[in-house]
Amino acid sequence: MTFSKDTKISTVNNGRRNLLVGSAAATAAAGLGIAPTALLAQESSAMPNAIKQTMNIGSMEVSTLLAGTRTAPDPQTIFGMNVSAEEFASVSAENFIPADKNQFFFTPTVVRAGDDVVLFDTGLNPNSITAPLQAAGIAPEDVTIVVITHMHGDHIGGLSGDDGMPTFPNARYVTGQMEYDAWAKTAPDNFNAKVKPLAEKMTFIGDGDSVVSGITSVAAHGHTPGHMTYMLESEGEQLLLIADTANHYVWSLAYPDWEVKFDMDKAAAAATRKKIFGMLSADKIPFVGYHMPFPAVGYVAPRGEGGFQYVPASYQMMLEG
61 binds Zn ion (CB under 5 A): no
Quote the DSSP letter at residue 79.
B
Contact 63, 110 (CB under 8 A): yes
Quote the DSSP letter at residue 42.
P
Taking CA atoms, 56 is separated from 113, 181, 266, 294, 319, in Å, by 11, 34, 34, 17, 11
Contact 258, 80 (CB under 8 A): yes
Please identify, using beta-carbon distances, which residue of 244 and 257 lies nearer to Zn ion.
244
121 binds Zn ion (CB under 5 A): no
Please identify, using beta-carbon distances, which residue of 179 and 244 lies nearer to Zn ion.
244
Please identify, using beta-carbon distances, which residue of 154 and 179 lies nearer to Zn ion.
154
Contact 87, 80 (CB under 8 A): yes
Query: Taking contact as CB under 5 A, which single stretch among the options 66-74, 152-160, 169-177, 194-202 is the one that binds Zn ion?
Result: 152-160
Q: Where does residue 314 rank: exposed (0-12), middle (13-18), buried (19+ CB within 10 A)?
A: exposed
Please identify, using beta-carbon distances, which residue of 58 and 226 lies nearer to Zn ion.
226
Q: How far is the CB of 291 from Zn ion (least distance, A)?
A: 6
Q: How far is the CB of 123 from Zn ion (least distance, A)?
A: 10
Give CA–CA dist 311/321, Å, rounded: 21
* Residue 74, phi-psi category: left (phi > 0), alpha (psi -120 to 50), beta (remainder): left
Q: How far is the CB of 200 from Zn ion (least distance, A)?
A: 26
Question: 287-289 and 69-73 as β-strands: parallel, antiparallel, unpaired?
Answer: unpaired
Query: Taking contact as CB under 5 A, which single stretch among the options 17-25, 130-138, 144-152, 159-167 is the one that binds Zn ion?
Result: 144-152
Query: Taking contact as CB under 5 A, which single stretch among the options 150-158, 178-186, 189-197, 233-241 is the one that binds Zn ion?
Result: 150-158
Residue 228 has, within 13 A of its CA and on its CB side, a CA count of 28
244 binds Zn ion (CB under 5 A): yes
Please identify, using beta-carbon distances, which residue of 16 and 152 lies nearer to Zn ion.
152
Please identify, using beta-carbon distances, which residue of 152 and 248 lies nearer to Zn ion.
152
Contact 149, 68 (CB under 8 A): no
Q: How far is the CB of 295 from Zn ion (least distance, A)?
A: 17
- Report the Cα–Cα distance between both ends of the chain, in Å, rounded: 9
Q: How far is the CB of 154 from Zn ion (least distance, A)?
A: 5
Q: How far is the CB of 290 from Zn ion (least distance, A)?
A: 5
Query: Taking contact as CB under 5 A, which single stretch among the options 168-176, 194-202, 243-251, 269-277 is the one that binds Zn ion?
Result: 243-251
Q: How far is the CB of 106 from Zn ion (least distance, A)?
A: 7
Q: Among 64, 80, 154, 221, which residue interacts with Zn ion (rule: CB under 5 A)?
A: 154
Q: How far is the CB of 32 from Zn ion (least distance, A)?
A: 6
Residue 304 has, within 13 A of its CA and on its CB side, a CA count of 0
Give CA–CA dist 111/127, Å, rounded: 19
Which residues here bind Zn ion, judged by CB under 5 A? 152, 154, 244
